[in-house]
């Protein structure tokens, strides 16, 4: 069986799952829900577990014919878990034993559609999926609806442009703070914005968390709790399902099982709908969609002399992230620079944040510069990140200059925001910058 499974899951990224759970829960307890739930300024969509729309006829035709079929999963940490993703893959394999079904695991924890649209070509489309699941409702929870439209429409249009027979299905997950909104009969803001794109392109959608929200309201489910260990704790829980340890990431055997069952119910209806055929791109839903978003190797830019390309077989970080960043360049020398000339409207840098990272001086078209730290309160480990350089520029040729700033950010003060401390001063004492790619809406000008 052919299978491409990118290994950049939470463990590979060096993220401690218990620490993430603790941090997310702390944010929820201290600051309240991190995502909008009321939708006061945005019309919320009526809650419905699945919408069939134009179906997934091309995908199901291949399954029924016993062909080789690839299912791509593009999403955040909930998809990176060994939960609904492998569970649904196994379900499809059991339903269609004659087909050769494999997965493309394109999930990265802590990222939304605004990165997914740039990495889609490298992480998904080059592997030629037959079905693309897109899961970003939680990580897009704080994004403006228009930004969601730009990125999600970019994902759709890129996919259909690459192969007009690929099918897409939007799936939505939830956090604890959204359960009441769902019980009130409405989708939260992010899923509501995504539904508008789904309507425009006839894309089926499944809300995997609607049943969990309903069960919590009926007293059949506890959304956030540790699993009981003692007989007394088990007796207190009774026959209730405990959904998650941290209000976000479901337990594999309970919350993710409910997610699986929701997908199964949706698929039973969706596979009866639609007719096989090619997708013809309609007039865009938003004129400034991100179909042109792409990931370009940083080697296409002009790098100063002290930059060094890291060997993925010898350097720990380059090897750890190579499935996402095929090449990684490094410098820790103040003043070393990257110059990029491009024609387009927006540019970001795909890089790492980490203990040894410093900060970057950013200039666009010779304007007043700004300092952007590549270090934050979570930098006890290295993780993937994006540095937003410029957005919504006029469609023209632009020049960007980025250079390593000589001063380190106040790392002790930054870590103290999360009650973290510098454990080893040598590990933090540097102005390093690890860069993998240019995230571009437009084209490089040589």
DSSP code string of 286-338: STT--TTEEEEEGGGSEE-TT-EEPPTTT-HHHHHTTTT-S--EEE--TT-EE
DSSP, res 41: T
A 10 A CB-CB count for 231 gives 8
pLDDT of residue 38: 37
Average pLDDT over residues 205-211: 98
pLDDT band at residue 110 under the 50/70/90 scheme = confident
Average pLDDT, the chain: 91
Residues above pLDDT 90, as percent of the chain = 89
Cβ 432 vs Cβ 353: under 8 Å: no
pLDDT, residue 48, reads: 97
How far is Cα 317 from Cα 330, in angstroms, rounded to an integer? 11
Closest CA to 398 of 372, 371, 363, 368: 363
What's the pLDDT score for residue 42?
85
Q: Looking at residues 239-268, what average pLDDT do you find?
A: 97
pLDDT of 33 over the 60 cut: no
- The values of phi and psi at residue 395, to 5°, are -70, 95
What is the structure's pLDDT at 287?
A: 95
Cβ neighbours, 10 Å, residue 64? 12
Residue 172's beta-bridge partner residues? 207
Please determine, for residue 339, whether its predicted confidence score (pLDDT) is greater than 60.
Answer: yes
Q: What confidence tier does 320 reach under pLDDT thresholds 50, 70, 90? A: very high
Q: Which helix (H) or strand (E) holds 119?
A: helix 113-123
Average pLDDT over residues 4-10: 36
At residue 194 the predicted structure's pLDDT band, cuts being 50, 70 and 90, is: very high
Which pLDDT score, from 0 to 100, does residue 390 have? 94
Distance from C-alpha of 263 to C-alpha of 24, rounded to nearest angstrom: 26
Determine the average pLDDT of the residues in 420-431.
96
β-pairing verdict for 433-444 and 337-353: antiparallel
Sequence-distant (6+) residues with CB within 8 A of 151 are: 112, 113, 114, 116, 117, 140, 290, 293
For 51-58, what is the mean pLDDT? 98
**Residue 69 CA: distances (Å) to CA of 60, 99, 128:** 10, 7, 9
Over 90: is that where the pLDDT of 39 sits? no
Residues 6+ positions from 63 with CB-CB distance below 8 Å: 69, 92, 95, 96, 99, 101
Range(s) within the chain of domains with CATH label 3.40.50.1110: 4-270
Q: How confident is the model at residue 30 (pLDDT cuts 50, 70, 90)?
A: very low
Whole-number pLDDT of residue 27: 37
Cβ pair 125, 168 in contact under 8 A: no
Label residue 7 by pLDDT band (50, 70, 90).
Answer: very low
- Range list for CATH 2.60.120.260 in the chain: 293-444
- Distance between CA atoms of residues 348 and 437, nearest Å: 9
Domain at 293-444: CATH code: 2.60.120.260
Residues near 371 by Cβ (< 8 Å), separated by ≥ 6? Answer: 359, 360, 361, 362, 405
Q: What is the chain's Cα-based Rg?
A: 22
Q: Give Cα 315 to chain centroid, integer Å.
A: 25
Q: Which residue has the tokens 């339903």?
A: 95
- CA–CA distance from 388 to each of 231, 239, 320 (Å)? 51, 48, 23
Stretch 354-373: mean pLDDT, rounded? 96
Specify whether domain 4-270 bears CATH 3.30.470.20: no
Structure tokens at 418: 């999360």
| Exposed/middle/buried for residue 268 (C-beta within 10 Å: 0-12, 13-18, 19+) | exposed
Report whether pLDDT(2) > 80.
no
Whether residue 297 is predicted with pLDDT greater than 80 in this model: the reply is yes
| Strand duo 329-331 + 396-404: pairing | unpaired
Residue 17, pLDDT > 80, answer no
Q: What percent of the chain has pLDDT over 70?
A: 91
pLDDT-derived band at 108 (thresholds 50, 70, 90) equals very high
Smallest Cα–Cα separation from 84: which of 181, 212, 199?
Answer: 212
Q: Please give the pLDDT value at position 446.
A: 85
Residue 257: band (very low, low, confident or very high) from pLDDT cuts 50, 70, 90? very high
Virtual torsion, Cα 79, 373, 411, 11, nearest 10 deg: 20
Per-residue model confidence as pLDDT tens digits over 131-190: 999 999 999 999 999 999 999 999 999 999 999 999 999 999 999 999 999 999 999 999
pLDDT of residue 9 exceeding 90:
no
Percent helix, strand and coil across the chain, each to the nearest 5: 30, 25, 45
Cα–Cα distance, 185 to 169 (Å, whole number)? 22
Model confidence at 285, in pLDDT bands (50, 70, 90)?
very high
- What was the pLDDT predicted at 1? 30
pLDDT tier at 21, thresholds 50, 70, 90: very low
Whether residue 15 is predicted with pLDDT greater than 70 in this model: the reply is no
pLDDT in tens, 321-335: 999 998 999 999 999
């Amino acid at each position: 069986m052919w299978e491409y499974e990118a290994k950049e899951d939470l463990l590979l990224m060096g993220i401690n799952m218990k620490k993430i759970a603790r941090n997310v829960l702390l944010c929820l307890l201290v600051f309240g829900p991190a995502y909008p739930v009321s939708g006061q300024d945005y019309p919320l969509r009526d809650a419905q577990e699945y919408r069939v729309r134009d179906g997934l006829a091309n995908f199901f035709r291949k399954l029924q014919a016993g062909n080789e079929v690839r299912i791509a999963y593009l999403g955040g940490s909930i998809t990176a878990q060994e939960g609904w993703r492998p569970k649904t893959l196994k379900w499809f394999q059991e339903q269609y034993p004659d087909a050769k079904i494999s997965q493309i695991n394109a999930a990265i924890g802590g990222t939304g559609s605004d990165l997914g649209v740039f990495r889609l070509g490298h992480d998904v489309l080059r592997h030629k999926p037959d079905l693309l699941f897109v899961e970003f409702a939680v990580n897009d929870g704080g994004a403006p609806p228009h930004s969601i439209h730009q990125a999600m429409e970019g994902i759709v249009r890129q996919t259909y442009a690459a192969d007009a027979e690929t099918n897409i299905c939007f799936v939505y997950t939830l956090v604890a703070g959204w359960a009441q909104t769902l019980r009130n009969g409405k989708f939260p803001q992010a899923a509501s914005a995504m539904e508008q794109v789904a309507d425009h392109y006839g894309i089926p959608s499944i809300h995997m968390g609607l049943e969990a929200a309903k069960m919590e309201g009926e007293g059949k489910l506890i959304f956030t709790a540790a699993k009981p260990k003692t007989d007394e704790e088990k007796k207190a829980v009774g026959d209730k399902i405990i959904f998650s340890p941290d209000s976000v990431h479901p337990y594999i055997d309970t919350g993710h099982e409910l997610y699986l069952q929701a997908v199964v119910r949706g698929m039973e209806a969706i596979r009866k709908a639609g007719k096989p055929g090619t997708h013809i791109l309609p007039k865009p839903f938003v004129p400034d969609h991100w179909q042109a978003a792409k990931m370009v190797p940083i080697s296409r830019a002009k790098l100063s002399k002290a930059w060094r390309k890291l060997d993925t077989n010898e350097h720990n970080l380059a090897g750890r992230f190579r499935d996402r960043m095929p090449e990684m360049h490094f410098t820790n020398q103040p003043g070393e620079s990257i110059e990029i000339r491009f024609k387009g409207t927006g540019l970001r840098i795909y890089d790492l944040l980490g203990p040894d990272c410093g900060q970057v001086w950013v200039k666009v078209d010779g304007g007043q510069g700004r300092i952007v730290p590549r270090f934050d309160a979570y930098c006890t480990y290295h993780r993937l990140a994006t540095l937003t350089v410029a957005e919504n520029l006029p469609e023209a040729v632009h020049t960007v200059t980025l250079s390593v700033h000589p001063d380190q950010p106040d790392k002790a003060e930054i870590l103290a925001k999360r009650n973290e401390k510098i454990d080893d001063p040598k590990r933090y004492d540097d102005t390093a910058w690890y860069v993998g790619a240019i995230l571009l809406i437009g084209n490089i000008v040589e």
